C-alpha cells in the first residue's frame, strides 16, 4: 500500500509538468489519469506552497488549508516524503493518515501532493489474519506516533515511551514480547513487531494470550483451504491469458495486466505459506518440548521457509537458484552452534524445480546439523565442506567433516530416516564414507 501510494504521488508530480500549481482543467484531468482508480475511501490532493488546496478527488473539499499540519511543515522544511500520524480529516471527520510528497521546481518548494488513507484500511488486514476478536493490528511511525490501528482509536497516541521503543526495537528490528497491559485498552497480549523495510514504520500484531493457540490451528486449516483455490485460480488465469493472446493481439495490454495479477497471486501463495511456516516455528518454540527437539524442528521449518522466500523474492516460480539457497542454509545452521568450525562451500550454479529444491534443502540441513551435533560436539574447532557439482545432467552433492566418524550400522535414528527419505525424493543415491571423518555423497538427476 505504501509503495503504490508513493508511485501514485510521483505520477501526480509528473502530470503537473513544469508550470506552477494551477487550477487549469486540463491539469486536473492529467492528475486523475495519472492516479487511476484509487481504492475506495482514498483521497488525493495537491496543495500549493502556502498549503492551500488546489486539486482534490473530493470536489466539495475546496478551500481546505493544511499549512498547520505537521506533514506539510516537514515537506516545506525539506523532507521529500512524509507519513503523518493518525489525524482527523477536516471535511468528513474520518480518521486517516496521509502519505505526502514534496513538489520541487528548480530546487524550490512548489507545493505538496498527498494521498489520505482511511485508518479503517487496517480492518481488512485484521480480517485476513483471523487472530481473534481481541487481537489488534497497528502501524506506528519510527518516532512512536500511531499511524493506524484496528480497532480504531478516536485519536492518535504516542508510544515512544513504551517498552517497544525503549527496550525491544533498539535490540532487534523484529521479534515478539509479552505486553502485560496495552495503553490503548488495558488488555494483555503477545505482541509481534517488525520494522517496515524502506519506510519509517513499525508493524505490530497483538494476540490475546488465550487466542494464540486457536490462531495456530486456524492458520493451518485456512492456509490449506486458501492455497488450493488460489492455485486453481492461477492455472485458470494462465489458460485464459493464452486464449486471449491467440484470439486478439489488440488485447495485449489487458493480458499484461492479467499476467501481473497472476504473478501477484503466486507471490501471495508463497508469502502466505512462508508466514504460516514461520507461525508454526514460533509456536513450536513456545511448546514445552526438549530444547534439542525444538531446535531440530525449527531448523527444518527454516529450510522450508527459505525455499518460499527464494521463490517469491526472485519472482522465479518454476526454478529455484540452488547456490544462494544452500549457502544460506549452511550459514544459518552454523550460527545455531558454538565453536570455530571452518566451513568451505563450492556450489556450482544450478536451477531446479521447487519440488526438488525442498528435499535438497532439507537434506543439506539434516546432514550439516548432524555434523555439528556429532562431529564437532566435543571440539572447539573443525572443518566442514559442502560441494555441489553438475555434469551430464547429474548433480553430485558432497558434505564432509573431519570428525571421528561413526558406524553406518548405527543409522537407525530419525535423522537417518529423514536423510534416506529426502534422497529418495530426489531419485538419487547415497554413499557414506566414514574413514577420516564422515563423507556423505548424494548423486541425483537434474530435471
| 330 and 447 part of one domain | yes
Instruction: Assess if residue 394 is contained within a domain.
Output: yes
| 109 and 191 part of one domain | no
Instruction: Assess if residue 164 is contained within a domain.
Output: yes
What is d(CA 302, CA 340) in angstroms, rounded to the nearest whole number? 23
The model's confidence at residue 330, banded by pLDDT at 50, 70 and 90, is confident
Per DSSP, the residues of 244-277 read HHHH-GGGHHHHHHHHHHHHHHHHHHHHHHHHHH
Final residue of a structural domain among 159, 186, 211: 211
pLDDT at 174 over 90: yes
pLDDT at 35 over 70: no
| 445 and 336 part of one domain | yes
| 33 and 143 part of one domain | no
CATH code assigned at 26: 3.30.450.20
Instruction: Assess if residue 31 is contained within a domain.
Output: yes
194-237, pLDDT tens digit by residue? 999 889 999 999 888 777 666 567 777 887 788 778 888 888 88
The model's confidence at residue 443, banded by pLDDT at 50, 70 and 90, is very high
| 112 and 21 part of one domain | yes
Give CA 67 to chain center in angstroms.
Answer: 36
Q: Which of 79-83, 87-91, 231-235 has the highest mean pLDDT?
A: 79-83
What pLDDT, on the 0 to 100 scale, is given for residue 340? 80
Query: What's the whole-number mean pLDDT along residues 243-253?
Result: 68
| 166 and 191 part of one domain | yes
Give CA 368 to chain center in angstroms.
Answer: 27
Final residue of a structural domain among 93, 117, 141: 117
Beta-bridge partner residues of 416: none
| 132 and 107 part of one domain | no
User: How many structural domains does the chain have?
Assistant: 3
Instruction: Assess if residue 97 is contained within a domain.
Output: yes
| 111 and 13 part of one domain | yes
Calculate the average pLDDT of the chain.
Answer: 80
**Distance of CA 25 to CAs 18, 21, 56, 98, 338, Å?**
16, 12, 12, 25, 68
Instruction: Assess if residue 36 is contained within a domain.
Output: yes
CATH code assigned at 377: 3.30.565.10
Domain region containing 195: 121-211
The phi and psi torsions of 394 (rounded to 5 degrees) equal: -130, 135
What pLDDT, on the 0 to 100 scale, is given for residue 15? 79
What is d(CA 392, CA 369) in angstroms, rounded to the nearest whole number? 30
Instruction: Assess if residue 68 is contained within a domain.
Output: yes
CA atoms within 13 A on the CB side of 197: 0
pLDDT at 16 over 50: yes
Neighbours of 362 (CB within 10 A): 22
375-391, pLDDT tens digit by residue? 787 777 888 999 999 98
| 440 and 358 part of one domain | yes
Q: Which residue has the higher pLDDT, 267 or 201?
A: 201
What pLDDT, on the 0 to 100 scale, is given for residue 24? 47
**Distance of CA 342 to CAs 176, 186, 434, Å?**
33, 51, 19
pLDDT at 158 over 50: yes
Instruction: Assess if residue 129 is contained within a domain.
Output: yes
| 57 and 128 part of one domain | no
Instruction: Assess if residue 130 is contained within a domain.
Output: yes
Binning the chain into helix, strand and coil, the percentages to the nearest 5 are: 45, 25, 30
Final residue of a structural domain among 211, 236, 254: 211
| 28 and 93 part of one domain | yes
Predicted model pTM: 0.47
Query: What's the whole-number mean pLDDT along residues 297-321?
Result: 64
Amino acid at each position: 500500500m505504501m509503495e503504490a501510494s508513493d508511485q501514485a504521488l510521483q505520477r501526480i508530480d509528473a502530470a503537473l509538468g513544469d508550470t506552477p500549481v494551477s487550477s487549469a482543467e486540463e491539469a486536473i484531468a492529467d492528475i486523475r489519469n495519472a492516479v487511476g482508480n484509487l481504492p475506495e475511501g482514498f483521497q488525493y490532493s495537491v496543495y500549493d506552497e502556502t498549503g492551500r488546496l488546489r486539486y482534490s478527488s473530493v470536489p466539495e473539499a475546496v478551500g481546505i488549508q493544511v499549512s498547520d499540519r505537521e506533514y506539510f511543515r516537514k515537506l516545506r522544511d525539506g523532507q521529500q516524503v512524509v507519513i503523518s500520524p493518525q489525524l482527523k480529516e477536516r471535511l468528513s471527520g474520518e480518521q486517516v493518515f496521509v502519505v505526502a510528497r514534496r513538489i520541487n521546481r528548480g530546487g524550490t518548494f512548489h507545493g505538496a501532493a498527498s494521498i489520505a488513507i482511511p485508518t479503517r484500511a487496517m480492518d481488512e488486514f485484521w480480517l485476513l489474519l483471523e487472530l481473534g476478536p481481541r487481537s489488534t493490528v497497528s502501524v506506528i511511525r519510527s518516532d512512536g506516533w500511531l499511524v493506524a490501528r484496528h480497532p480504531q482509536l478516536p485519536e492518535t497516541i504516542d508510544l515512544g515511551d513504551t517498552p517497544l521503543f525503549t527496550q525491544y526495537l533498539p535490540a532487534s528490528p523484529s521479534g515478539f514480547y509479552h505486553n502485560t497491559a496495552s495503553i490503548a485498552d488495558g488488555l494483555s497480549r503477545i505482541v509481534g513487531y517488525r520494522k517496515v523495510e524502506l519506510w519509517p514504520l513499525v508493524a505490530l500484531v497483538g494476540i490475546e494470550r488465550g487466542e494464540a493457540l486457536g490462531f495456530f490451528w486456524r492458520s493451518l486449516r485456512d492456509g490449506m483451504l486458501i492455497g488450493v483455490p488460489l492455485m486453481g485460480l492461477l492455472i485458470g488465469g494462465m489458460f485464459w491469458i493464452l486464449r486471449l493472446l491467440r484470439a486478439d493481439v489488440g488485447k495485449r495490454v489487458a493480458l499484461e495486466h492479467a499476467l501481473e495479477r497472476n504473478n501477484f497471486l503466486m507471490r501471495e501463495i508463497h508469502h502466505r505459506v512462508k508466514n504460516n511456516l514461520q507461525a508454526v516455528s514460533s509456536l513450536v518454540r513456545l511448546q514445552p518440548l526438549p530444547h534439542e527437539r525444538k531446535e531440530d524442528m525449527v531448523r527444518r521449518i527454516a529450510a522450508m521457509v527459505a525455499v518460499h522466500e527464494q521463490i517469491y523474492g526472485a519472482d522465479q516460480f518454476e526454478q529455484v537458484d540452488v547456490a544462494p539457497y544452500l549457502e544460506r542454509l549452511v550459514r544459518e545452521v552454523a550460527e545455531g552452534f558454538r565453536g570455530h568450525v571452518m566451513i568451505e562451500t563450492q556450489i556450482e550454479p544450478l536451477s531446479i524445480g521447487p519440488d526438488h529444491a525442498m528435499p535438497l534443502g532439507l537434506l543439506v540441513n539434516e546432514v550439516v546439523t548432524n555434523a555439528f551435533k556429532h562431529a564437532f560436539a566435543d571440539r572447539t574447532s573443525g572443518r566442514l565442506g559442502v560441494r555441489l557439482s553438475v555434469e551430464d545432467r547429474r548433480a553430485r552433492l558432497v558434505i564432509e567433516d573431519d570428525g571421528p566418524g561413526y558406524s553406518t550400522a548405527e543409522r537407525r535414528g530419525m535423522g537417518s530416516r529423514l536423510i534416506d527419505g529426502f534422497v529418495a525424493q530426489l531419485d538419487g543415491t547415497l554413499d557414506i564414507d566414514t574413514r577420516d571423518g564422515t563423507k556423505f555423497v548424494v548423486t541425483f538427476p537434474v530435471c
